Amino acid sequence: MVDKKLVDLVVGVRRKSGRIMTIKVVVGSKILNVVSVYAPQVGLEEDVNKQFWEDLDLVIQDVPKSEKLFIGGDFNGHISTKANRYDAAHGTFGYRERNNRGVFVLNFTVAYDLLIVNSFFKKKRTTW
């Protein structure tokens, strides 16, 4: 779904899988690639998880360096409040304890020189 004001700026939509979709938008002189993801939940077969990360890897590699990349969605991992060795990618505003999926997300983020943006500002607490 794209805001009505942006519909005419969309130059491409690509569905990589049921878990990954990309929209390419031209705003002025900038080309933005917005990737929406929904990582497999814990407990699914490992091959489903592996395929998700391979697909996301291919999507990222397909974005030219001259274009902007934004990835959003649910990675089903917890990155914790401590950046530790992930200072370049992680602020100090995570929550919960870091789990294996969170470590994988952090390693992936560092490998592609990305940021986990919502870990750089304080969010309102929600009740679960």
Per-residue 3-state assignment (H helix, E strand, C coil) for 75-123: CCCCCCCCCHHHCCCECCCCCCCCCHHHHHHHHHHHHCCCCEHHHCCCC
pLDDT band at 17 (very low <50, low <70, confident <90, very high): very high
Average pLDDT over residues 12-19: 94
- Say what the pLDDT of residue 8 is: 93
For 56, the enclosing helix (H) or strand (E) is: helix 46-61
Least confident of 47-56, 71-80, 88-97: 88-97
Average the pLDDT over 62-69 and give the result. 95
Distance separating alpha carbons of residues 72 and 79, to the nearest angstrom: 15
Dump pLDDT digits (tens) for 82-107: 778 888 788 777 767 777 788 888 88
Give CA–CA dist 86/107, Å, rounded.
8
Average pLDDT over residues 30-56: 89
